[in-house]
Amino acid sequence: MKSLIIFGTAEIAELAYFYFTNDSDYEVVAFTVDDEFVDKTSLLNLPIIPFSEIVTKFPPEDNSMHVALSYSKLNQLRQEKYEQAKSSGYRLASYICSKSVVWDDLEMGDNCFILENQTIQPNVKLGNNVMLWSGNHIGHGTKIRDHAYVSSHVVIAGHCDIGKRCFLGINSTIKDFTKVGDDCFVAMDASIVSDLDNDSVALGVSSTVFKSNDKRARIIKRKYFKI
């Protein structure tokens, strides 16, 4: 077993502990955070070490690290801590869930976190520190660049280019051959059919809701369900 330190002590860190422990050849040996955020001594029966002490107590020549943070500040914080860990000499471990479909030609950087039920087609390239939550489709020839966060049930069609630090919301859809610039926020249910410039925000269309006393609600139910 290879030894692993997890950077973080919040929910994402606990999930990372679960996945690495149950579905990898790593053994988690400790957690670490910046000194000012150490508010307890242990998590999941493992020590929490202030980052200023981690190199001494768990040196990088004997341990890898995984930065397990969320998308705070549009992934800038995760990038900052990734760079902090790497500059301290640690190899940053990636995780791919065994319950995903991934082809052998996948190119992937370090500190990626790829959860279950992905369909990742051939000739896909993932940068460093990319997070794919559960249940996404990543089309053939697509590139997802460093520090991007793809939430659940996102469809990215073939030959797309997703920029650095982007956030793609639940159920969003990216048309094939689309380029999404850096630092874009694609909200839940958004459908992207043309290129997005850097720093763009794309909002999905909200559902139209007819209340029970609306005549249109009764007509639609009658049409589809014969009631």
Which pLDDT score is estimated for 74?
Answer: 96
Alpha-carbon span 163 to 148, nearest angstrom: 7
Topology of 2-92 in CATH?
Answer: Rossmann fold (3.40.50)
Can you list the residues of the chain whose pLDDT is less than 50? none
Measured in degrees and rounded to the nearest 5, phi and psi for residue 179 equal -105, 125
- Listed by start position, the domains of the chain span 2-92, 94-217
So what's the architecture of 94-217 in CATH?
A: 3 Solenoid (2.160)
CB contact burial 165-183 (16+ within 10 A = b; e otherwise): bbbbbbbbbbbeebbbbbb
Which pLDDT score is estimated for 66?
Answer: 98
pTM of the model: 0.92
Which pLDDT score is estimated for 227?
Answer: 81
Which pLDDT score is estimated for 140?
Answer: 98
Which pLDDT score is estimated for 132?
Answer: 98
Structural contact between residues 211 and 217, judged by C-beta atoms closer than 8 angstroms: yes
**pLDDT tens across 173-218, in order?**
999 999 999 999 999 999 999 999 999 999 988 778 899 899 999 9
Structural contact between residues 134 and 117, judged by C-beta atoms closer than 8 angstroms: yes
Straight-line distance from the first to the last Cα atom of the chain, in angstroms, rounded to the nearest whole number: 60
Q: What is the per-residue DSSP string for 144-159?
A: E-TT-EE-TT-EE-TT
